[in-house]
Amino acid sequence: MGILEVKGVNKRFGGLQALGDVNLSVAENTVHAIIGPNGAGKSTLLNCLVGKLIPDTGSVMFDGQSVLGRTPYEINQMGISRVFQTPEIFGDLTVFENMVIPAFAKRDGSFRMHAFESVASEKDIVAHAEEMLTEVNMQDKIHMHAASLSRGDKRRLEMAMCLLQEPRLLLLDEPTAGMARADTNNTIDLLKEIKEKRDITIAIIEHDMHVVFSLADRITVLAQGTPLVEDSPEKIRGNPKVREAYLGEAA
Amino acid sequence: MDAILLQILNGLDKGSAYALIALGLTLIFGTLGVVNFAHGALFMLGAFCAVTLQRLLSLSYETIDETKTDFLGNPLKVKTPYVEGWFGPEVGGAIIDWAVPLSVIIAIPIMVGIGYAMERGLIKHFYKRPHADQILVTFGLAIVLQEIVKYFFGANPIQTPPPDALLGVVNIGAAFGLEIAYPIWRMVYFLFSVAIIGGVFSFLQFTTFGMVVRAGMADRETVGLLGIDIDKRFTTMFGLAAAVAGLAGVMYGPINPPNYHMGMDFLVLSFVVVVVGGMGSLPGAVLAGFMLGILESFASTTWATTTIPGINQIIIYLVAIIVLLTRPRGLMGRKGVMED
Amino acid sequence: MLGLNKKDMTLLIVVAILTLLAPFILNPFPVDSGMAQFNAGYPDLMQRFVIFGILAIGFNILFGLTGYLSFGHAAFLGVGSYAAVWMFKLLSYNVVPAILFSVILAGLFSVLIGYVSLRRSGIYFSILTLAFAQMSFALAYSVLSNPKFNLTNGETGLQVYADDPQILHRDGLPDVPHLFGWAMRDNFLELKLGGWEFTFNNGYYLCAAILLVVFYLSIRLFRSPFGLMLRAVKSNQQRLNYTGLNPKPYTLAAFIISGMYAGLAGGLLASMDPLAGAERMQWTASGEIVLMTILGGAGTLIGPVLGAGFIKYFENIFSKINDNVLHQWFSFMPDGMEDFLVFIVHPFVGKGWHLTLGILFMLVVTFLPGGLVEGGQRLGRLVRSRGKKPEDPKDPEHHPKETPHVAE
């Protein structure tokens, strides 16, 4: 029984079958990659996991509880954090403020009327945020506007914001899309480091095979909205069906 | 039966005005992505085109009629409009009498010009700015325009009568054996609006220009990528929307004497119309315009106002709230428009 | 001190000094001098400065922090005024219950309007609030003023009549709004020093004290986690949602708070002059609130107060200028030139104040979206960089600028 169980999920947009009978099980404390060619339904699947879309049929269970019909913030409060393809951060705020917000969300829940004490007086929150920033090597940028960060730093910040909440499941949507090789390698190292330091399950949607094979414990190949195979990286590499559907072009 | 029909008919003129303004608002919003708070001012400027023409035509010179004297025994001064002097009292008098319909001819180029100037001179610089800035700057413009009109024409409503021939009432139910007295000019206004709405829709439907604009409303970026100079067409679109609002204003004068703040009064209601019809939907705007106009007319009956005093003043807002709570996208709203 | 950091404390102290010494500061010219027309130290004008300051501070909590542009805040101002006058009619002329009730009623009203309007964001929200305000105006102007049920007294405006119950009224208490016998319209001190005159008005000092309290509260709110969440709503709602926070109650709370500020302002207006009219709720009034906030600097602490003062001051000055004054000003010029200048300026002054306001509105939005505060900052940077330039060749790419604090 995995921490995330997707069973028989279908999603249709008009005449297009975006997802057809998707079954997926992500085991706890593993890195599970979901790969597939463009239009295979990877993003649709991800959106079904975080509450942005509701599947037409099927079930999505996280830690024994259904996520269907819940809003994104409720799902986050259950322990699922999401990193976007293009970093979604609070551009108008400082790096520090960006870090403080998830800390409050973790401690106080989805809403708390907390309008009199200053942020600075919340010592535990401040310490927590600073500690996390140090861990991702951004302590020197703490007072910068988040919008003025480099793309790599924005990604780093977003990841730190998610990790600060100590999610049980971290969803990564093409975290290296559009990155130069050096940045991609840095991201791989960062993710490996994250994985080593804590118990966390990571589900990653990725295009870049280099990233997938460096990180994943388990791989699901999606093609035309349906899982083709699910196996370990070694087996996937040798699987003729996968080569045909996806790696064929790359190999 | 007669009473119901009469109320429907009574709602048509206001409904037409709402529909025309809402149509322009939707066109501008759909193509340029700008909410134009100065659109009501364009309606008002149209009405004042008619006022201006009427005044120009009535410019007179004085002659002294030696044969008559006034009550002090001085020779009587007679004012004659120049137009009558040039064309003779028959033709000249007719021209003055028909000032409002004639204004349509001069209002078209004037309003298109104002629309062009507004878009090129101001709105253009706000495409990439936040929506709040667009709202605020057009709001400021609306104030400026109406204050200018107030400066030149004063704060009081100005009578702009329809031609004598179109004054009066006609029984339009006669053919069906019903007794429905309806002012001719309101009938004219309704038919005029229908013609304009029809014109705009067929223009969008049957010309290449319209096709590009419709495509642009659906997906602006892609059309831009096709190498079509979409911006230029959108400017023209703005001119068109300004003309539609202006014409709605020109012909509205005889129904309600124009004043400087009529634009804002209509704008707020037209916004409600757009929201009810569905942001970005042209047929929705027209449909909701007529529907709300008719509804307002029903709410203005003595029966309604004695049951709930003042219901006619707030009925449109109440309906808007109900629609919004039950169908947040409006009656015919498209998915993805204004849903951040 | 008071839970504020040093910078915020300085700001609060400066504002406190300015408001408490306003009767001196606003009357810099001797009464007999030609410049006396630029004095602003009259009780009713000073009262308006602080009351509209309160209104703008409240509006800024919604617009400045969350970015939700409400075009209907005048409705809450009106509701507050009506509520206060009703308290005068029913209880007594004491302003305490009046002000409390105006805040509460405006709060309830904003729950209602906010709940519906906040179902949508962006332009939709602005349109909805505008529609609600116009509806409130229609309600106040005609619907709720009929022989059967007269809540607002329509066109005439709501006022206190001799046959009103005033159940708490006792003999010896003034027959005008008062604070436990301390009449709002009275001056507790009128100072004549040489050619100067300074007036110290009871009502003004009540308003000023309230302004300082609500200004202090707004500083606390700006620095609080709640204020941070509101700025996050403006910055990126998507991220906020995926960070486990629900933006809805945050924005609704901000809306209600700012509605209560507006209600407070309305209650104070009625306490200074016990009359409430529907025109206070019109869209032009809402637009003026927006303009004050933007002109001063939305999202900054002090901006809205500056904007309110600026607009109310120039409204007063401009409205007083007529052709005679203009001729006086330009009298040093040759005759033709003088007439020409008077002709040019005439449409913008006196009754033309709204035209000037509209133009100002457009200019500020176009060229100075950050308002006076940003203008001041730019000016300050210009002066500083001129002094420093030679030895400080900063490369902006490698030294990204630090975020300025919200209140600068």
pLDDT tens, residue by residue, B280-293: 788 999 999 999 99
Instruction: Tell me which of C127, C129, C141 to substitute to probe the interface with B (most B C-beta atoms closer than 10 Å).
Output: C127
Would you say the ipTM is above 0.95?
no
**Calpha distance A51→C301 (Å, rounded):** 37
* pLDDT at residue C391, as a whole number: 44
Could you tell me which chain B residue has the CA closest to the CA of C283? B264
| Angle at CA of residue C366, ends C364 and C370, nearest 5° | 55
- Residue B301 exposed, middle or buried by CB count within 10 Å (0-12, 13-18, 19+): middle
Q: How confident is the model at residue C405 (pLDDT cuts 50, 70, 90)?
A: very low
Does residue C361 fall inside a structural domain? no
* pLDDT at residue B339, as a whole number: 46
Write out pLDDT tens, residues B54-99: 888 888 887 777 777 777 777 777 778 887 778 777 788 888 888 8
Does residue C303 fall inside a structural domain? no
Q: What is chain A's Cα-based Rg?
A: 19
Mean pLDDT of B183-201: 91
Which one, of C100, C113, C120, lies nearest residue C255 by Cα?
Answer: C113
* Cα B186 to the center of its chain, rounded Å: 14
Instruction: Tell me which of B26, B36, B129, B136 to substitute to probe the interface with C (most C C-beta atoms closer than 10 Å).
Output: B136
Does residue C99 fall inside a structural domain? yes
Mean pLDDT of C227-240: 94
Instruction: Tell me which of C365, C366, C367, C374 to substitute to probe the interface with B (most B C-beta atoms closer than 10 Å).
Output: C365
* pLDDT at residue A97, as a whole number: 95
What is the DSSP secondary structure assignment for residue A229, as one 8-state letter? E
Question: B125 CB near a chain C CB, below 8 Å?
Answer: yes
For domain B2-55+100-326, give the fold.
Answer: ABC transporter involved in vitamin B12 uptake, BtuC (1.10.3470)
* pLDDT at residue C387, as a whole number: 64
Chains A and B touch (3+ CB pairs under 8 A): no
Which one, of A215, A175, A165, A173, lies nearest residue A195 by Cα?
Answer: A215
C-alpha distances out from residue C15 to C9, C301, C303, C407, Å: 10, 11, 12, 13
Distance, in angstroms, between A12 CA and closest chain C CA? 24
Question: Regarding beta strands A226-231 and A218-223, do their DSSP bridges make them parallel or antiparallel, or are they unpaired?
Answer: antiparallel
Helix/strand/coil percentages in chain A, nearest 5:
45, 25, 30
Write out pLDDT tens, residues B238-261: 899 999 999 999 999 888 899 988
DSSP character string of B221-278: HHHHHTT--HHHHHHHHHHHHHHHHHHHHHHHTTTS---TTHHHHHHHHHHHHHHHH-
Is residue C406 over pLDDT 50? no
Q: Which of C232, C246, C402 sits opposite A73 (nearest CB)?
A: C246
The single-letter code of the amino acid at C346 is H
Q: Do C361 and B136 touch (CB under 8 A)?
A: yes
Q: Do B310 and C130 touch (CB under 8 A)?
A: no
Mean pLDDT of B6-30: 88
Write out pLDDT tens, residues C172-218: 888 889 998 888 888 888 888 888 888 899 999 999 999 999 999 99
The CATH number corresponding to A1-79+167-251 among 3.30.70.1280, 3.40.50.300, 3.10.580.10, 3.30.565.10 equals 3.40.50.300
* pLDDT at residue A222, as a whole number: 87
Which one, of A175, A209, A218, lies nearest residue A194 by Cα?
Answer: A175
Percentage of residues in chain B having pLDDT higher than 90: 26
Task: Work out the mean pLDDT of chain B and round it to a whole number.
Answer: 84
Question: C89 CB near a chain A CB, below 8 Å?
Answer: no
Q: How confident is the model at residue B334 (pLDDT cuts 50, 70, 90)?
A: low
Cβ atoms of residues A112 and C230 within 8 Å: no
* pLDDT at residue C397, as a whole number: 41
Range in B21-25, B232-236, C109-113 the model is least confident about: B232-236
- Is C177 in a helix, a strand, or coil? coil
Does residue C310 fall inside a structural domain? no
Mean pLDDT of C23-39: 84
Q: Which of B142, B320, B340 sits opposite C131 (nearest CB)?
A: B320
Mean pLDDT of B19-26: 91
Question: C245 CB near a chain A CB, below 8 Å?
Answer: yes
What is the DSSP secondary structure assignment for residue C405, as one 8-state letter? P
Predicted model pTM: 0.89
Q: Any residues with CB less than 8 A from the CB of A145 and at least 6 apart, and which?
A: A91, A92, A93, A94, C400, C401, C402, C403
How many other CB atoms sit within 10 Å of the CB of residue A220?
26
Q: Which of C228, C253, C403 sits opposite A119 (nearest CB)?
A: C228
* pLDDT at residue B73, as a whole number: 73
**Calpha distance B20→B328 (Å, rounded):** 23
* pLDDT at residue C241, as a whole number: 94
| Angle at CA of residue A214, ends A86 and A81, nearest 5° | 40
The single-letter code of the amino acid at A225 is G
* Cα A74 to the center of its chain, rounded Å: 16
Backbone φ, ψ for residue A64 (5° rounding): 85, 0
Write out pLDDT tens, residues A76-112: 999 999 999 889 999 999 999 999 999 999 999 999 9
Residues in chain A: 251
Is residue C402 over pLDDT 50? no
* pLDDT at residue C395, as a whole number: 41
* pLDDT at residue C401, as a whole number: 40
Distance, in angstroms, between C297 CA and closest chain B CA? 13
Is the model more confident about C327 or about B157? B157
Write out pLDDT tens, residues B112-135: 999 999 999 898 888 888 888 888
* pLDDT at residue C392, as a whole number: 43
* pLDDT at residue B49, as a whole number: 92
Task: Work out the mean pLDDT of chain C and round it to a whole number.
Answer: 87
Does residue C146 fall inside a structural domain? yes
Is residue C398 over pLDDT 60? no
Tokens of C32: 């007999």
Mean pLDDT of B173-191: 81
* pLDDT at residue B338, as a whole number: 47
| Angle at CA of residue C44, ends C38 and C47, nearest 5° | 100
Number of domains making up chain C: 1
Could you tell me which chain C residue has the CA closest to the CA of B280? C124
**How confident is the prediction along chain A (251 residues), in pLDDT tens digits per residue?**
789 999 999 998 888 888 989 999 999 999 999 988 877 888 889 999 998 889 999 999 999 999 998 999 999 999 999 999 889 999 999 999 999 999 999 999 999 988 888 998 999 999 999 999 998 888 899 999 999 998 888 988 999 999 999 999 999 998 887 778 888 888 888 888 888 888 899 999 987 888 888 889 999 988 888 888 888 888 888 788 777 766 555 43
- C-alpha dihedral (B187, B193, B196, B200), degrees to nearest 10: -140
Distance, in angstroms, between C58 CA and closest chain A CA? 14
Could you tell me which chain A residue has the CA closest to the CA of C8? A118
Does residue C52 fall inside a structural domain? yes
Range in C119-123, C126-130, C276-280, C389-393 the model is least confident about: C389-393
Q: Do B132 and C67 touch (CB under 8 A)?
A: yes
**Calpha distance C379→C373 (Å, rounded):** 10
Cβ atoms of residues C238 and C232 within 8 Å: no
Cβ atoms of residues A215 and A207 within 8 Å: no
Could you tell me which chain C residue has the CA closest to the CA of A83? C242
* pLDDT at residue B220, as a whole number: 65
Cβ atoms of residues B131 and C123 within 8 Å: yes
**Calpha distance A234→B152 (Å, rounded):** 84
Range of C101's domain?
A: 6-33+41-282
